[in-house]
């Protein structure tokens, strides 16, 4: 199956990646040969492939929890197989990915110059009807990025209580009709289990006020599918764990790029950067702040870069909701 995939914010990412590697090498007096980029969400390898083309000698380890994504990315990056390796895992295991790369490239000196997070699902996962991510393609309710994990959309829809459903619909997608939709799910599944994406889409539509059933039911279907996907893959929990684990792998000068597509993801990233890049108020009065208490990060996010440009939005609808943030470990 062929997938059309345009990486989001590609140009900015390549420029930042090239600059990060250059300044990291200068700072640590090493060659690009000893620099590692962790592409924490390698997906179809779009960003990785361009970074390999643009930056000589640097090594990349691509993480993904989806083995199908890893297979496609490794085929696309075949020409660079001496500079890229793949690590099937959730992206909170950054230390594991770094150690795997050191072993794979037989280079214990490899240091991380850049980490890239491009959150969410890939176009392949959405377009592949069999994966059950999409409200308009019929499939068994699944939505697992990694098919070995236990929880699937089927269990959430058919086993969660009404209260639990309302909670995830509110928390993860701010759905106004969360109550009605959860109630309709309970009613429908009492008659027979809700097995497929189109059955669920129909249940959601039926729960809405009549006027919306004829006009705008798709936004609710989109939001409910998103909420279930976030729950199934513990997406926000993984981001929190990954943010924590950055401290155990980053060196002075390591840059991190984050691409978020929904407000809860961006909220976690924004708060992580803010908390760690500002001097705590109770230290501000000190004439000299001890090194150990100085902020651990520098916020490099540029206002002009935070959103996709109009021209990118018109070429790539996925870029429409991106929030792009960058920071550097000090």
Ligand X SMILES: C[S@@+](CC[C@H](N)C(=O)[O-])C[C@H]1O[C@@H](n2cnc3c(N)ncnc32)[C@H](O)[C@@H]1O
Binding of ligand X by 9 (CB under 6 A) = no
Give the residue from 245, 237, 298 showing the smallest Cα distance to 265: 237
Binding of ligand X by 110 (CB under 6 A) = no
Given 12, 37, 41, 203, the residue binding ligand X (CB under 6 A): 41
Footprint of ligand X on 215-254 (CB under 6 A): 238
Binding of ligand X by 35 (CB under 6 A) = no
b/e code 202-231 from CB counts within 10 Å (16+ = b): bbbbebbeeebeeeebeebbbbbbbbbbbb
Binding of ligand X by 152 (CB under 6 A) = no
Shortest distance, CB of residue 313 to ligand X, whole angstroms? 16
From 79-87, 119-127, 197-205, 210-218, give the range in contact with ligand X by CB under 6 A.
Answer: 119-127
Residue 307: which residues within 8 A CB-CB, separation 6 or more?
322, 323, 324
Per the rule left: phi > 0, alpha: psi between -120 and 50, beta: everything else, 189 is alpha
Binding of ligand X by 118 (CB under 6 A) = yes
From 113-121, 162-170, 186-194, 281-289, give the range in contact with ligand X by CB under 6 A.
Answer: 113-121
21 token code pair: 């590697």
Shortest distance, CB of residue 91 to ligand X, whole angstroms? 4
Binding of ligand X by 63 (CB under 6 A) = yes
Binding of ligand X by 45 (CB under 6 A) = yes
179 token code pair: 């109550």
Binding of ligand X by 145 (CB under 6 A) = yes
For residue 23, what are the CA distances in angstroms to 20, 32, 291, 308?
Answer: 5, 10, 22, 26
64, 88 contact by CB (below 8 A): yes
Q: Which is nearer to ligand X, 183 or 306 (CB)?
A: 306
Given 44, 156, 182, 194, the residue binding ligand X (CB under 6 A): 44
Footprint of ligand X on 64-103 (CB under 6 A): 64-66, 69, 90-91
Q: Which is nearer to ligand X, 14 or 198 (CB)?
A: 14
Give the whole-angstrom CA distance, residue 68 versus residue 73. 9
Contacts with ligand X: how many residues (CB under 6 A)?
21
Shortest distance, CB of residue 241 to ligand X, whole angstroms? 9
φ/ψ (deg, to 5) at 142: -130, -80
Q: Name the one residue in this structure whose structure tokens are 């429908």.
A: 188
Binding of ligand X by 7 (CB under 6 A) = yes
R_g over Cα of the chain? 21
Binding of ligand X by 132 (CB under 6 A) = no
Q: Which is nearer to ligand X, 62 or 253 (CB)?
A: 62
Given 12, 120, 160, 319, the residue binding ligand X (CB under 6 A): 120
Q: Which residues bind ligand X (CB under 6 A)?
A: 5, 7, 41, 43-47, 63-66, 69, 90-91, 118, 120-122, 145, 238
């Amino acid at each position: 199956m062929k997938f059309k995939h345009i990486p989001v914010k590609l140009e900015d990412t390549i420029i930042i990646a090239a600059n990060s590697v250059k300044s990291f090498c200068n700072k640590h007096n090493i060659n690009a040969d000893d620099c590692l980029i962790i592409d924490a969400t390698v997906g179809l390898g779009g960003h990785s492939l361009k970074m390999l083309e643009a930056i000589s000698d640097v090594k990349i380890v691509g993480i993904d929890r989806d083995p199908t994504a890893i297979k496609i990315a490794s085929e696309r990056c075949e020409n660079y197989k001496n500079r890229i390796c793949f690590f099937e895992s959730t992206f909170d295991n950054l230390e594991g990915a770094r150690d795997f790369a050191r072993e794979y490239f037989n280079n214990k000196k490899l240091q991380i110059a850049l980490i890239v997070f491009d959150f969410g699902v890939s176009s392949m996962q959405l377009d592949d009807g069999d994966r059950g991510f999409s409200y308009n393609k019929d499939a068994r309710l699944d939505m697992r990025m990694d098919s070995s994990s236990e929880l699937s959309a089927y269990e959430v829809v058919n086993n969660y209580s009404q209260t639990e459903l309302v909670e995830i619909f509110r928390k993860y997608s701010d759905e106004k009709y969360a109550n009605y939709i959860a109630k309709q799910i309970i009613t429908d599944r009492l008659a027979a289990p809700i097995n497929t994406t189109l059955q669920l889409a129909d249940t959601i539509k039926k729960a809405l006020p009549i006027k919306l059933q004829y006009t705008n039911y798709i936004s609710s279907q989109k939001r409910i599918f998103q909420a279930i996907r976030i729950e199934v893959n513990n997406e926000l929990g993984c981001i929190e764990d990954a943010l924590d684990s950055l401290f155990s792998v980053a060196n002075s000068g390591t840059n991190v790029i984050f691409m978020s597509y929904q407000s809860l993801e961006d909220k976690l990233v924004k708060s992580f950067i803010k908390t760690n890049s500002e001097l705590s108020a109770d230290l501000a009065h000190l004439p000299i702040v001890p090194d150990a208490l100085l902020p651990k990060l520098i916020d490099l996010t540029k206002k002009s870069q935070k959103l996709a440009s109009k021209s990118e939005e018109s070429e790539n609808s996925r870029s429409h909701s991106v929030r792009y943030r960058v920071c550097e470990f000090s």
